[in-house]
Amino acid sequence: MTTDDTTTDTTDVDARLLAGLAGLATEAPAGLPDAVFARWVRVPSGLGDVYAAATAHGVQFLRPAGDAGLAGFTAAYRARFARPLVAAPRPPAGLLPALRGRPGRGPALDLTALTGFERAVLDATRRIPAGQARPYGWVAREAGSPGAVRAVGSVLARNPVPLLVPCHRVVRADGALGGYLFGAPEKERLLRAEGMDVDGVADLARRGVRYLASDTTTVVCFPTCRDARRITPRHRHGFGTLDEAVRAGFRPCRTCRPAGAA
């Protein structure tokens, strides 16, 4: 009798154990596809049609549709991010307005594949308003690495999300527009389309003027700063360096921050 009881118990335990184990098989997590796949869209922009790839965290990569087409974009994306890429049912929120040039925060960006310095450079660049330009040195300082001017150029030359991080608004300290990852003519065209007075800035640079100051506000700005553009010719003073302007009694603008955070 005792033996029988034990046998029954053991069989019962086994049956419950196996049933319990069978119950441990589970479905895939609902969020798995979003965690694994990036999704692409083709949308219009100031550079013509572009492809954009976005993860669940935001837009990760953007390139002109150009000649390489979708195959070229997919290959470039795979080489850089190594994540499967499939078509998106609709563009990520905020992407279309941002590419149409609407002011605002723009779409969320996924910059997780970048280093801290790269992210800092892109964050600083993203704060430059439309129609304005800042030198590479300004970006380096805003990114917390004042000495890394050349490195800023390298980072922006690989900008994964041009237009959304407006690297076309970063120019050389001597007033030349400098290079662009899609060519200098595209950079100039984008800046003109945003309303920047490219010729006026070039004229000033030729005369050695890189900062403009107002004797009514006693503030000194970058020439493309919204505040500098309001200065009437009568009250306008040009300077080649910020030091000269400061010695002449002008205070660095708090909007365009020609002297950085200090």
Partner 1 sequence: MDAAERTRQRVCRALLDDLDAGYGEVVREYGGVVHSVARALTRSAADAEDLTAEAFLRAYRALAGYPAERIAVLALRPWLLTVLRNTARNAARDAARRPAGPPRYEPTERELDPGPTALDDPADHAERAEAGRGLAALLARLPEAQRTAVVLRHALDLPIAEVAQVLRVGEGTAKSHVSRGLHRLRALVTAAGTEPGPDGEPAHRVLASGRRDR
| Secondary-structure percent of the chain, ordered helix, strand, coil, rounded to 5 | 40, 15, 45
* Position among 14, 49, 174, 203 found at the interface with partner 1 (CB under 8 A): 14
Count of CB atoms situated within 10 Å of the CB of 105:
9
Inter-residue contact 135 to 170 (CB < 8 Å): yes
Question: In the bound complex, what is the minimum distance in angstroms from residue 37's beta carbon to partner 1?
Answer: 7
* CB of 36 or CB of 248, closer to partner 1: 36
Residue closest to 254 by CA, chosen among 262, 244, 246, 242 = 262
Task: Note the Cα 158 to chain centre separation in Å.
Answer: 11
Inter-residue contact 46 to 94 (CB < 8 Å): no
Q: Does 89 bind partner 1 (CB under 8 A)?
A: no
Q: Going residue by residue from 49 to 68, which x/- string records binding to partner 1, judged by CB under 8 A?
A: --------------------
Beta bridge partners of 239: 211
Cα angle for residues 82, 56, 36 (degrees, 5° grid): 40
Question: In the bound complex, what is the minimum distance in angstroms from residue 229's beta carbon to partner 1?
Answer: 47
Q: Does 78 bind partner 1 (CB under 8 A)?
A: yes
- Report the SS3 class of residue 89: coil
Q: Does 23 bind partner 1 (CB under 8 A)?
A: yes
Q: Does 35 bind partner 1 (CB under 8 A)?
A: yes
Question: In the bound complex, what is the minimum distance in angstroms from residue 113's beta carbon to partner 1?
Answer: 12
Residue closest to 126 by CA, chosen among 65, 59, 174 = 59
State the distance between the two ends of the chain, measured CA to CA, in whole angstroms.
90
Q: Does 27 bind partner 1 (CB under 8 A)?
A: yes
DSSP 8-state secondary structure symbol assigned to residue 49: S
Q: Does 28 bind partner 1 (CB under 8 A)?
A: yes
253 is catalytic: no
* Position among 74, 145, 217, 255 found at the interface with partner 1 (CB under 8 A): 74
* CB of 28 or CB of 262, closer to partner 1: 28
Q: Does 20 bind partner 1 (CB under 8 A)?
A: yes
Q: Does 31 bind partner 1 (CB under 8 A)?
A: yes
Q: Does 2 bind partner 1 (CB under 8 A)?
A: no
CB burial of residue 144 (10 Å; 0-12, 13-18, 19+): middle
* CB of 79 or CB of 262, closer to partner 1: 79
Q: Does 157 bind partner 1 (CB under 8 A)?
A: no
Q: Does 15 bind partner 1 (CB under 8 A)?
A: no
Q: Which residues are catalytic?
A: 167
Interface residue list for partner 1 (CB under 8 A)? 13-14, 16-33, 35-37, 74, 78, 82-86
